[in-house]
Amino acid sequence: MYNLQFSYRYHPLKFIKPATTSRDTLTEKPSWIIRISAENEEGKRITGYGEVSIIEGLSVENSAQIKQELSKIEQQPNSLLSDNYNHLPALKFAIETALMDAQTDHHCLFDTPFTRREKAININGLVWMGPIEYMRKQLSEKIVAGFDCVKLKIGALDWEKERSLIEALRETYSKDEIMIRVDANGAFTNRSPHKKLEELAQLDVHSIEQVVAAGNWDLHKELCEHGAIPCALDEELIGTFERSEQEKMLDYIRPQFIILKPSLLGGLAASDQWISVAEERKIGWWATSALESNLGLNAIAQWCSSKENPIHQGLGTGSLYHNNFHSPLVVSGGQLHYSNDNWANFDELWPDA
């Protein structure tokens, strides 16, 4: 690539409704769109776009660090080809996917049955935290929409109420009709997990994500060995980039699953490494978005489709936002489809360029 050019625009994503987890409630999410332009070997100028998407307090980096590094790259574009950006995984994801995008037509990063519109991706329907009636309404909407796998964010409300919500769902639908996953986001305390996991097992819950806060390896190990339902590591993976450290973690904790969020882990290649380490140990995995816009989500969905992992993935269409971008991604019948080429014109973010 020759005559490299780099620019970026801040595009904060604005939630239609506040998004609540056991950690906090989000109304807006930082996001930057980067544009990389260069001349290829034939002298043709090519352009690619990527998204730097972070969740403050969860991502390794913060907004100030991202702004500083983006400004630095804009002044010295060639630096993006020499720095590995392991210390800024969201930026690494954006650069990696923008460079891939520059080599393709219509933002098609992977040639798969999914992008050829021949096959959809099975996904779970996500139920956000909130008042029980709000969660019950979301559940009903997911079932009507055709989802056969739902994931409930739990841990912020009274446990009896959360359990009763799952009980009501299971009274109507068997485990063969609806798969139920729950995500505690590290909310359960050291004193409570075993009893709660036993109650969830009685309700045929498929798995629980991040039972306790990251860093509690001993308790996680105990829950993975003796807990009543399969446990998945999620936030636990963030910030662990070296393969040797990943192997050490999975060898010690031995989870049943790991959850991959490429923009939090350092990109698609970094997620490939996690998959390799997990599969060597017969540990299952699925991917989820980390609240990216449709630009970042497109890259994750296409990458995910290249893996042909039949388990339900945690993807969607970014319908949480007022100001998302048009994309070919469509959810129908509990599946994610690549339906058309209805792409946003990202150059509109650079009206004065």
Average pLDDT over residues 39-50: 88
Q: Is 19 in a helix, a strand, or coil?
A: strand
Residue-by-residue DSSP string for 69-119: HHHHHHH-GGGGGT---TT-HHHHHHHHHHHHHHTSSTT----STTTTTS-
- Segment 170-219, tens digit of pLDDT: 999 999 999 999 999 888 876 668 889 999 999 999 999 999 889 999 99
Q: Structure tokens of 64?
A: 């100030």
Residue 261 bears catalytic tag: yes
Is 307 labeled as catalytic in the residue annotation? no
Distance CA 127, CA 299 (A): 23
The more confidently predicted of residues 29 and 342 is 29
With cut-offs at 50, 70 and 90, classify the pLDDT of residue 128.
confident
Q: Is-contact 73 92, C-beta < 8 A?
A: no
**Helices 89-102, 63-75: crossing angle, 10 deg rounding:** 40
Residue 353 scores a pLDDT above 60: no
Q: Which of 92, 261, 282, 307 is catalytic?
A: 261
DSSP label at residue 346: G
Concatenate the DSSP letters of all residues of 285-325 into one string.
Answer: EEEB--S--HHHHHHHHHHHHTTT--SPBB----TTBSSPP
Q: Mean of the pLDDT values across residues 229-238?
A: 96
Q: What is the CA radius of gyration of the chain?
A: 20
Kindly tell me if the per-residue pLDDT of 19 is higher than 90.
no
CATH class of 121-338: alpha beta
pTM value is 0.94
**18-32, 111-125, 308-322, 332-346, range with the lowest pLDDT:** 18-32
Q: Is pLDDT larger for residue 111 or for residue 189?
A: 111
State the pLDDT confidence band at 21, using cuts at 50, 70 and 90: low
What percentage of the chain exceeds 90 in pLDDT? 74
Q: Which residues pair with 233 in a beta bridge?
A: 258
DSSP state at residue 237: G
- The token duo for 231 is 């446990």
Q: Work out the average pLDDT over 79-107.
A: 91
Cβ neighbours of 98 (radius 10 Å): 24
Domain boundaries, the chain: 2-102, 121-338
Please count the other Cβ atoms lying within 10 Å of the Cβ belonging to residue 105.
7
- Asked whether the beta carbons of 127 and 142 are under 8 A apart, the reply is yes
**pLDDT given at position 42:** 81
**Whole-number pLDDT of residue 192:** 67
Q: What is the mean pLDDT of the chain?
A: 92
Question: Which residues is 207 bridged to in the sheet?
Answer: 181
Q: Does domain 2-102 have CATH number 1.10.760.10?
A: no
Tokens 């779970």 belong to 124
Give CA 297 to chain center in angstroms: 8
Do 189 and 212 touch, CB atoms closer than 8 A? yes
pLDDT digits (tens, 9 = 90+) for 240-283: 999 999 999 999 999 999 999 999 999 999 999 999 999 999 99
Q: Which of 29, 92, 142, 153 is catalytic?
A: 153
State residue 129's pLDDT score. 82
